[in-house]
Structure 1
Amino acid sequence: MYINRHIIWNVFFACLLLTLSFRGSAQQETSYIAGVDTNYIKTYPDQLPVRFFFSQKFTAIELGSSELVKNLRYRPNTTLNIGIGATYRMFTLNLAYGFPFMNQDKDKGETKYLDLQSHIYPRNWTIDFNGQLYKGYFLFPRGFANADPDKFYVRPDVGVSLFGITLYNMFNGARFSYKAGMVQTEWQQKSSGTFLIGGEIYGGSFSGDSALVPSMLKDQYSQKDVEKIRFFELGPGGGYAYTLVIKKHFFIMGSLTVNFDVGYSREYYPDKTKDQWSLRPNLLYRGVVGYNSRLWNLNLSLVGNQVAVRGASSTDLYYFRTGNLRLTLAKRVTPGPKLKKRLNVFGPNQ
């Protein structure tokens, strides 16, 4: 079975965080406000974090085959965006745009896409919605599968659709906060971690007008004649998340969950189809490093996942990798009475 090196590093990182979480601590008096241990987390339920950010989303595809050849890595030419946003209690709104002067990679072709990623963090839960529609990809690195070593192999006909929901319960939501790094509505003041248990459902497709494997590489990959694959997967999973706080203000947060999904896939050939049932592990990960204080939050974050799909052959592997890389500067402000009255329509803080 092929094991991607990124999986090894992610599992190692999760084990390291798990080890750190069991360090001894002195006895202290514990106080709770709305289910939060105030010795660990400072909440700002009536404040409005406003943010300025740079972000780049992606949905990349890899075709895996024999260990003797490297994966085919299809990547989209997505834009680097500048955005603004705000969060009040459970509601977040971000608006971003990729200005032409920041995106000049014309040699990678054009990608048209709609990428809807929503990540919601109630007190003891994480909820993730993914909806991606992409058209237009290139092969990485430059020159791979191309007669000209200075040009990318571009496939404007290749498209991806991916839809999924993940739901996880946190065992220690009173002392661990995703919100502190991801939406800046809280401040994690002491190191803490939590186990996670839940599940996911995913479905999607990957297709082109002709074979997905370039003709000059067709003898190296078992998917050489596949023009399209559709799949559906669901299953349970578990994981761990931990935030290391340094001198109260600096923090490193890492989170990893592993799902064991039962999946059904169908590969489409020019003259036939092949179906397959399988059991494959999928990954969902988050990482944030930054600075937090009473008013300001500066961080670099990455939220991503890997959905693994098996084709008709044991070597026919397809990896759907999505993510959102973001650099954020946020400030918490207190809304005025009139604005606060209007914002209360979004419900209580959780």
Structure 2
Amino acid sequence: MIKRLILFLLFIFPLSLFAQNEGNGHSIADSLKTEKRPNGLIRAFNYLFNPNDIDTTYIGPNRYNYALMLDHFTNYEYYAVGSSVPEAQRLRFSPNPRNKIGPYFGWRWIFLGWSIDTDGLYGKQKGKRKGTEFDLSLYSAKLGVDVFYRRTGNDYKIHKVSGFDNISTDYSESFDGLTVDMKGLNLFYVVNYRRFSYPAAFSQSTNQRRSAGSMIAGFSISMHDLNFDYTRLPQAIQENMNEDMKVEHIKYTNISLSFGYAYNWVFARNWLACLSLTPAVAYKTSHIEKIETETNNWYKNFNVDFLLRAGVVYNNSKYFAGASFVGRSYDYYRDNFSMNNGFGTLQVYAGFNFYLKKQYRRKK
């Protein structure tokens, strides 16, 4: 896991060096005391991450260098396996929500911190293998980057059953036969970056002064690796489930192009609500290993996925507090086999900024 985190950081950190705050007209290239004009790569990064044509009547820059924040995360996820041959059946699995809390220190647009699993403090995870996750998001005026990695634990429950005779749809029972590894990258471009700010809603690095919206275009790639031991299901389900649902290993890659809309609503002084929905047309290629008596299959098809972002924040430039939710869903459908999974993170936070930037200090 540590190696994966290092690879993610090595990939994303060079990009983040150019992701200056909106409204700041100075780039890294300006600080390089050289007579030569910046090369094409630096000019390209400055154009994408550090635009100097922000409309300050709509977006106010962050006036401080540093921030301290207390953050609480609640993570949700679900997986569903189904088949329509010979009759429609579906099993849905999900663990209890996981909660983490911790302090974070921020420098301009970077937040570093440490969080602990609150369930572990009370012994709720005793005897269960904990999941692992890593999320990194960077939002500049024009571009956004989300990098994520998740490995589930073994504390799933069967939360919903359909298509099985004599089994109630709200049937619930613990299930330790599902483990999932998932990693991916999301990139998106903000069309109306001059007047609409994602960082104002999700990283508190700018202030949205007037309501504004923007079209959002994006690209995403993710890789999913699921191990499903159906023999650990209750006997009543095993005996009646469709043969196409008896899979052992599902590995698929999801590549998608998305286009949606986001809106920042300034409903009161220093208050902001944001809602963003970006549907995506996704191409999926899958390798499915069935039980030993069956052959393995390769599937390729197109489906529609969704990415939802929502947030409410109060930010008077000095102090800030708010809540945000980011959710993703992935759907895979064929006549004989279907799989759906989704996960989301609810974040509640409060903090303050300090140490004014030089250009905002009062001259004595």
Measured against the shorter chain, the TM-score band is 0.7 to 0.9
Deviations 1:241-297 (A, max 9, x none): 101111222221011111111111122112221221110111111110232212122
Distance of aligned partners of 1:255 and 1:308 in 2 relative to their CA distance in 1, 3 Å threshold: same
Kindly report which structure 2 residues correspond to 1:11-160, keeping only aligned pairs within 5 A, or say none.
Answer: 34-44=52-62, 46-66=64-84, 71-77=90-96, 79-100=98-119, 105=124, 110-141=128-159, 152-160=172-180
Quote the offset at 1:153 in angstroms: 2.2
- What is the aligned partner in structure 2 of residue 188 from structure 1? 208
Distance of aligned partners of 1:157 and 1:242 in 2 relative to their CA distance in 1, 3 Å threshold: same
User: What is the aligned length?
Assistant: 304
CA distance in 2, matches of 1:148, 1:241: 40
Kept in 1, the 8 Å contact 2:65–2:357? The answer is no
Kindly report which structure 2 residues correspond to 1:269-280, keeping only aligned pairs within 5 A, or say none.
Answer: 269-271=290-292, 272-280=295-303
Identical residues among aligned pairs (%): 20
CA distance in 2, matches of 1:260, 1:150: 32
Distance of aligned partners of 1:315 and 1:180 in 2 relative to their CA distance in 1, 3 Å threshold: farther
- What is the aligned partner in structure 2 of residue 26 from structure 1? none
TM-score (norm 1): 0.76
Kept in 2, the 8 Å contact 1:238–1:258? The answer is yes
CA distance in 1, matches of 2:266, 2:260: 20
**Residue 215 (structure 2) pairs with residue 201 (structure 1):** no
Which secondary structure does the structure 2 equivalent of 1:139 belong to? Answer: strand
Deviations 1:290-311 (A, max 9, x none): 322121221111112112224x
CA distance in 2, matches of 1:157, 1:95: 31
Distance of aligned partners of 1:46 and 1:208 in 2 relative to their CA distance in 1, 3 Å threshold: same
**Residue 341 (structure 2) pairs with residue 323 (structure 1):** no
Distance of aligned partners of 1:330 and 1:222 in 2 relative to their CA distance in 1, 3 Å threshold: farther
Kept in 1, the 8 Å contact 2:248–2:289? The answer is yes
Moved over 6 A (4+): 67-70, 142-151
- What is the aligned partner in structure 1 of residue 236 from structure 2? 216
Distance of aligned partners of 1:171 and 1:142 in 2 relative to their CA distance in 1, 3 Å threshold: closer
Quote the offset at 1:130 in angstroms: 1.4
Kept in 1, the 8 Å contact 2:331–2:340? The answer is yes
Letter aligned with residue 199 of structure 1: F
CA distance in 1, matches of 2:123, 2:103: 22
- What is the aligned partner in structure 1 of residue 274 from structure 2? 253
Distance of aligned partners of 1:169 and 1:332 in 2 relative to their CA distance in 1, 3 Å threshold: same
CA distance in 1, matches of 2:290, 2:302: 23
Kept in 1, the 8 Å contact 2:225–2:249? The answer is yes
- What is the aligned partner in structure 2 of residue 233 from structure 1? 254
Q: Give the gaps of 5 or more residues in structure 1.
A: 1-30, 338-350
Letter aligned with residue 257 of structure 2: P
Question: 2:331 is matched with which residue: 308, 311, 317?
Answer: 308
Kept in 1, the 8 Å contact 2:332–2:339? The answer is yes
Letter aligned with residue 260 of structure 2: G
Distance of aligned partners of 1:171 and 1:149 in 2 relative to their CA distance in 1, 3 Å threshold: closer
- What is the aligned partner in structure 2 of residue 293 from structure 1? 316
CA RMSD in angstroms comes to: 3.3
Kindly report which structure 2 residues correspond to 1:171-182, keeping only aligned pairs within 5 A, or say none.
Answer: 171-182=191-202
Kept in 2, the 8 Å contact 1:134–1:160? The answer is yes
CA distance in 2, matches of 1:300, 1:294: 17
Larger Rg: 2
Distance of aligned partners of 1:143 and 1:327 in 2 relative to their CA distance in 1, 3 Å threshold: same
Q: Give the gaps of 5 or more residues in structure 2.
A: 1-22, 26-51, 359-364
Distance of aligned partners of 1:303 and 1:136 in 2 relative to their CA distance in 1, 3 Å threshold: same
Which secondary structure does the structure 2 equivalent of 1:181 belong to? Answer: helix
Which secondary structure does the structure 2 equivalent of 1:112 belong to? Answer: coil
CA distance in 2, matches of 1:278, 1:246: 43
